Structure 1
């Protein structure tokens, strides 16, 4: 899976190629396929996703900020929090608490 987004009906759509012009195929039920996983990319995405959950939980627990949205892209993970602005001190607090949770294996 190269990219995931929500379709007009709200359901996830999985693009399965890095090229946007990938032809759609109708595969009969029971067709055997071979799939490989780009493990470094997969591990990086799992780490981003876990980090997003940790950051969102801390932002909510410490500051009461809901997570409005998040996106995992080729250039990183983006989290939109419900706050008009974030101070450097608040960022430092989130960073410290996230690292503290990681070290304590919470």
Structure 2
């Protein structure tokens, strides 16, 4: 496994041999396919919307994150949500950079 991106709370890895990705949430290491990673990017965009952040700050401090066909459930507070969004953005940036380096 090779490190893709590390945020404050979470880390993402890529395994070329297994052709998959891993996300380390500190207490749980989750194996995801590229399609599942794309789904997480969509969820990260929804979580980072201004309306959702305002709702979290005004109504409740936690968000329930379901992914990988509801196999995994995470309860995230506001700082963890923002860090998760940072992780997904950084992971896709590193994937794009690796693709550029390989094709050059």
Give the strand-richer structure, 1 or 2. Answer: 2
Give the helix-richer structure, 1 or 2. Answer: 2
- Higher Cα Rg: structure 1 or 2? 1
Q: Normalising to structure 2: TM-score of the pair? A: 0.32
Asked which structure has the greater RCO (Cα within 8 Å, sep 6+), the reply is: 2
